[in-house]
Structure 1
Amino acid sequence: MTDAQKQVQTAIDRMVDSGAERGVQVAVYRHGDLLVDAVAGVADPETGRPVTPGTVFYNFSIGKAATSTVAHVLADRGAFGYDTPVAELWPEFAAHGKGGVTVRHVLTHSAGVPGVPADTSVEDLCDWESMCAAIADAELWWEPGTAVGYHAYTFGYIVGEIVRRVTGKPISQVLQEVVTGPLGVADELYFGMPASEHGRLARLEDEAGSADMMDGLPEDLPMFKAGPLSLFPTAELGNRSDILAADIPAGGKTSARAMARLYAGLLGDVPGVRLISPERLREVTAVAAEGTDRIFGNESSWGLGYSIGLPGVEGKRSAFAMGGAGGSFAYGDTANGIAFAMTKNRLTVDFSAAMELIGIVTGATTES
């Protein structure tokens, strides 16, 4: 057992014992070696089913890293370029002046198409054709490339439809063929998870008081214009069987070890698997767009499909990451070869638990 494994296990046991977390997974690769594969707590409080390394969690936007990775694998194979207009691949998308939006704009959340219609229902989210038609008919919020604003749902459908147009296959199938299959994690990382597998999922639960926090936010925030409140990530939404089964590549259902292995694969550290070339890795993990987010108001830096840096850590430009609503987090680090993922089923409002664990892992691996 590595020092990192011991220290992480102690930390997540404490988080669960204190009542701060319900169920947690942490996985860490370094240069292809699995250093940490730790679990604590329960996946389902009603039955007492424990979390195992193979338990799958709905981690919301943590899955955008898988969506982006599919796009990069296809780009590496010549299917399109980052400066290819989306409408060249998906002609209907050009409506209402969107003909200038490129794949790069989409991957950097600068496309200017961050919202879904205010009357979008949960059922609509599960209807691929309906969502793509609505997005194709959307109007720009800003000139593409001139600002950044988190495309919470539209990111997944736009990238997913690009993938479908160039391959003729749904993105879930392409994910399995070019990413999760080669990495050996096809049964632990999904966009749409087959209903027959839902018994393996962790049950999500909201942190006490999270609804009150939402109620206290100003009604004129741009985030409330980007989609109806009923679509905001909650345990109720994330436990719905239709949401879990649907292809919604703005999020993902995954284990920590599958997500950590994805980042290890991007870093080129999984034996026999090279997802993208070293040159492309450098390109997609460099800052491509940054500024004050037009939707949420935070300062953000984006590579091509991954956020650059770690929350609250100054100058960590070698890290490329995606966090998920509720506090799950995963990243790769081109400087030290670390690929980290934390998944959990209590939805908290920040990434403090993940950052504590990242500090432990970084300290343990530096010492070793």
Structure 2
Amino acid sequence: MTDLPARVHGHCDPRFEAVRTAFEANFRERGELGAAVAVTVGGETVVDLWGGWADGARSRPWERDTLVNVWSTTKGPTALCAHILADRGLLDLDAPVAAYWPEFAAAGKEEVLVRHLLAHRAGLSGLREPHTLQELYYWELTTRRLAATEPWWAPGTRSGYHALTYGFLVGEVVRRVSGLRPAAFLEREVTGPLGVDFTIGLPEKESGRVAELVQPPAGPAGEGAAAPAALPPLALAALANPPIGADQANTPGWRAAEIPAANGHGTARAVADLYGIFAGAGSYGGRRILSPGAAERVREGQGRCLDLVLGAGLGHETEIGLGLWLSGPNGSYGPNPRAFGHDGFGGSCGLADPEAGVSLGYVMNRMGPHIADDPRKTALVDAVYASL
């Protein structure tokens, strides 16, 4: 069975046949195991493909409704929660975090702004004290430790990827303002009304359709991965406190927890739908989720720099908006420098390009070793733009 070529299923508009070709090539040439890709243009789904296997043993075919952990691609929907509150006048992105979360003012963080959390500029990429995986599952403990900790650098001056802490920081502000953590807020305000098959954390009732993640080969450290001891303390704190990989993410404990930076579960269609809200100037599926101005603000660049956590691994400067990464001159999300999106550990991706009206969702279970811009994702993005 393992020698059989992967079968690709689904729909692909003839204009986007290049995307199907690239998707099939990912299985033949780039080691794909199981995956799905979806593309929307102007809110219309033009690509909805899936194929391969939902487990490492290749005993379960990837189905149309197979769910998978998308790691940091989750950060886009989490940021969306904060932007909805800001759009309603309930959250000021230029206010100190402590205005909503008073305990956060400890250890010199009185002037950290909400926008600093969204842009990975709060100086809290990781906790200074050891934090176990079981402790990460405990929301109150994790947020309490973050509120008490000292920043690693002067907040607001540089970006440093908040791999796991991002979701707790932004999420606690969402909770303080709305009374709901991001998982419940997203369901109430977005995924429920739109019928989007995406959750932060995985409800036990959905466990039968989730794909098994397969550990990446040895290579550069990604978010949550066990980083080499040679990394500086800041990077170790951000990427390996606690260390997390496929083995941990396949457990019931990880799936049941709420980790809004890293344990969103969904289909490629769901990712394309959620990022389609940004691509559609705040509207999707006939519903307005954000005002056009609020949707535009998501990609407001906060300053280009060599990221303090990921810079050495990426090898070039990057710029983060208010929750998502800008394509910029690196072209991470296509040739439009103002397109934006987010990659997930191992390869997944959500992309939004308002100028082209395009959104893309790519999900997979055989994790790659790349920090960002996995070759499988890049091939699909290139094929989308070649088809426009």
TM-score, normalised by the number of residues in structure 1: 0.92
Deviation at 1:211, TM superposition (A): 8.6
Deviation at 1:131, TM superposition (A): 0.3
1:50 aligns with one of 61, 67, 73: 61
Map of 2:107 onto structure 1: 96
The 5 A counterparts of 1:109-128 are 109-128=120-139
Inter-CA distance 219–307: structure 2 relative to 1 (3 Å threshold): closer
Map of 1:208 onto structure 2: 217
Map of 2:326 onto structure 1: 308
CA contact (8 A) 1:183 1:265 kept: no
Helix, strand or coil: the match of 2:345?
coil
1:256 aligns with one of 268, 280, 286: 268
Give the gaps of 5 or more residues in structure 1: none
Inter-CA distance 224–285: structure 2 relative to 1 (3 Å threshold): same
> How many residue pairs end up in the alignment?
362
Counterpart amino acid of residue 353 in structure 2:
D
Inter-CA distance 132–221: structure 2 relative to 1 (3 Å threshold): closer
Distance, in Å, in 2 between the alignment partners of 1:45 and 1:338 is 32
Inter-CA distance 331–129: structure 2 relative to 1 (3 Å threshold): same
Map of 2:44 onto structure 1: 33
Deviation at 1:85, TM superposition (A): 1.1
Helix, strand or coil: the match of 1:50?
coil
Map of 1:79 onto structure 2: 90
CA contact (8 A) 1:92 1:136 kept: yes
Inter-CA distance 80–231: structure 2 relative to 1 (3 Å threshold): same
Counterpart amino acid of residue 343 in structure 1:
V
Instruction: Report whether the alignment pairs 1:329 with 2:329.
Output: no
The 5 A counterparts of 1:126-141 are 126-141=137-152
TM-score, normalised by the number of residues in structure 2: 0.88
| Stretch moving more, 201-210 or 153-162 | 201-210
Sequence identity, in percent?
35
Map of 2:301 onto structure 1: 287
Counterpart amino acid of residue 359 in structure 1:
D
Counterpart amino acid of residue 84 in structure 2:
V
Distance, in Å, in 1 between the alignment partners of 2:279 and 2:31 is 32
Distance, in Å, in 2 between the alignment partners of 1:217 and 1:20 is 28
Instruction: Report whether the alignment pairs 1:20 with 2:31.
Output: yes
Helix, strand or coil: the match of 1:349?
coil
Distance, in Å, in 2 between the alignment partners of 1:302 and 1:256 is 23
Deviation at 1:53, TM superposition (A): 2.8
CA contact (8 A) 2:160 2:307 kept: yes
Inter-CA distance 182–311: structure 2 relative to 1 (3 Å threshold): farther
Inter-CA distance 48–7: structure 2 relative to 1 (3 Å threshold): farther
Deviation at 1:288, TM superposition (A): 2.1
1:170 aligns with one of 168, 171, 181: 181
Helix, strand or coil: the match of 1:43?
coil
Map of 2:17 onto structure 1: 6
Helix, strand or coil: the match of 2:318?
strand
Distance, in Å, in 2 between the alignment partners of 1:201 and 1:311 is 36
CA contact (8 A) 1:75 1:81 kept: yes
Deviation at 1:219, TM superposition (A): 3.7
Helix, strand or coil: the match of 1:44?
coil
Instruction: Report whether the alignment pairs 1:275 with 2:289.
Output: yes
Deviation at 1:271, TM superposition (A): 3.3
Distance, in Å, in 1 between the alignment partners of 2:378 and 2:258 is 29
| Stretch moving more, 237-246 or 310-319 | 310-319
Give the gaps of 5 or more residues in structure 2: 1-11
Map of 2:208 onto structure 1: 199
Distance, in Å, in 2 between the alignment partners of 1:170 and 1:212 is 29
Helix, strand or coil: the match of 2:284?
coil
Deviation at 1:295, TM superposition (A): 1.4
Inter-CA distance 360–194: structure 2 relative to 1 (3 Å threshold): same
Distance, in Å, in 1 between the alignment partners of 2:233 and 2:123 is 17
Deviation at 1:227, TM superposition (A): 5.4
